[in-house]
Structure 1
Amino acid sequence: MTFCRLTWLHDGAGKSHWLIKNSVQTARVSLVLKHFPRARFVLLFRSPVDSIRSLVQMKQRLGALVGMQPLPDPRTQVEETATAHRELLEAFEASLHLIPAQQLLELDYDDLISQPLQAVEGIYTHFGLTSWPVAEAPIKARIDRARSYTADPVQLPPLAERRLQELVKAL
């Protein structure tokens, strides 16, 4: 599976899992389930405006870093990103029926940010992962190290922000 970057996680002695954190996978549910029939999905719910702003910022940073051509103007990036966001969500909703209920967890993004340890424990509990006693301390340590992290504010230029608001109202 070379179409995405995978992060290797360990769930206790002798067990292992892959974690894919890539929103494009929301459009590939049937492919993921074909190759990994017991795959579990955590769907993070986030305000569409916040998601699109964040994705635009990520695209700008990556484009500036590795892009081979000039970046589109912010308004165009907002339009392209809003379209892609909508299409990903539509594809996911169309294939949602393929995911067995016990393999899906819907989680509010704000809960993950405000109470990360509780949110991750809830993921372990929901999916019946029995290694929480082993995983809790390293996860807590990672969360504690990240406490000083402050996410960069995502602020679009006024014309791009206005266009984003128009597009989200149309959803």
Structure 2
Amino acid sequence: RIDILVNNAARSFMRSLLELREDGWDKVFDTNVKAVFLLSRAVARRMIEQGGGCIINITTVGAERGGRNIAAYLASKAALKMLTMCMAVEWAQYNINVNAVGPGVTRTHFSQPLWGNPDLAERIVSAIPKGRIAEPEEIVGAVLFLASDASSYITGQTIYVDGGFLAG
């Protein structure tokens, strides 16, 4: 039985658009969008047989804003946000809720190139009303909420856990 799927895998390359090679672009989209589509479709088929379930995709606040040297990642996560909405619309009739969580910059190994650079980290933190980078534990609550019965009437939404970054 599969009740909950969390699609959290991600890939990125820190390259300018002029330097980014096509195979790099494809690798990012294959991991961040295509793999989510294929796995979610397979799991949704099982969930339909079971009478429903919940799929949670991890996107990013960057799906809402442009950025330098990270276009493939941001574009793929924006595509994932739209894929989340399309899945929600198509699969709601089967009692499958599909939502996303969009973290801001979070202190993980994946985002270390951002927060590990003191100058860049200072610029990032200055744009966050909470005045700091998130810790991984702070993202978990939104995922748990979307996986719980408390969110049974929520589908097609993205919850941003960003310390106010998008608001400010």
Give the TM-score, by structure 2 length.
0.34
Which protein has greater RCO, CA pairs closer than 8 Å, 6+ apart? Answer: 1
Answer with 1 or 2: which has the greater Rg.
1
Give the TM-score, by structure 1 length.
0.33
